[in-house]
Each structure stands twice: as structure tokens, then as C-alpha cells.
Amino acid sequence: MRAGAEKDHKSIVIGAVRRKGNVVARVIHDVKAATLTSFVKEAVSHKVSLLCTDDYAGYAKLTENGVRHEIIDHRAHQYVIGAVHTQTIEGFWSILKRGVVDTYHKVSKKYLHLYACEFQFRHNNRDSADIFGAATEGC
């Protein structure tokens, strides 16, 4: 997520991922602390012991839920501090962006949520021997 996305009139996709686990990605309308906190409450288990984010100021209120919140400051060239990193979600963003740019070339705001869902599905079913079967199961 880019903090400046609102000012640039760009759509905003937020995500959370469990290490070696599933990702949840959603399109949101703004990057206000209340919106970010609402997403975290919805997408992240209350049993989580560590929440890692970048240094965007909107994440500051995430510490109010009592969960340990560690910050990686990419501007200070921090990428990993012991077990604290954002590399798992960064990998997901890389795959989503590559898919949009290389496969679809461009997506509209109207359907962005569907593309986010598609790549969420692909990531969460990456170990499936029959991902096509899983995708078409309800058809």
C-alpha cells in the first residue's frame, strides 16, 4: 500500500498475510487509521502474537488492540530485524503487480476488487495439485 495513493487518485489495496499461510486482500477507500484498524480487526486473528507493518503513520493505532506491533522502516533501509519483516506480504504485492502489468496490462477501479480476489485465491491455493478444479468447483 502507498500512503500517497489517496492524493494521486489511485485505488488502494490493503493486505494481511500469515507467514507461510493465507493472504487477505481488499480494496479500501482511504488510508485513515480507522479504515486500517477496521481491516486488521476483520482480517487478522485476535490470537496473533505479532503484527509487522511498514512505518506508515496510519498503522500507529494498531497497537491499541494489545497485540505486539513491530515496524519496519524501509526509508531507513530496514528490511529484516530478527523475526520482524514484511517480506511475505511484499512477495504477494510483487505477484499481484506483475499479474496486473504483465498479464492484464491495466485494470479498472470498478473491477480491481475482483483482481485482488483472483490473486488472493491463487496465493491461498498455490500448493493445490488441482487449482483449476478448485477454481471451477462451484460452477
Q: What pLDDT is stored for residue 1 in this prediction?
A: 39
Name the residue ranges covered by the structural domains of the chain: 3-129
Q: What fold is seen in the domain 3-129?
A: Nucleotidyltransferase; domain 5 (3.30.420)
User: For the segment 78-114, what is each residue's pLDDT rounded down to a tens digit?
Assistant: 999 998 999 999 999 999 999 888 888 888 899 999 9
Best CA proximity match to 99, nearest among 86, 112, 81: 112
The predicted model scores a pTM of 0.81
**Residue 17 — φ and ψ, nearest 5°?**
-140, 140
User: For the segment 21-39, what is each residue's pLDDT rounded down to a tens digit?
Assistant: 899 999 999 999 999 989 9
Pairing of strands 23-28, 12-17: antiparallel
Q: What pLDDT is stored for residue 65 in this prediction?
A: 66
Q: What pLDDT is stored for residue 105 in this prediction?
A: 84
* Helices assigned H by DSSP within 1-139: 33-43, 87-98, 112-124, 131-136
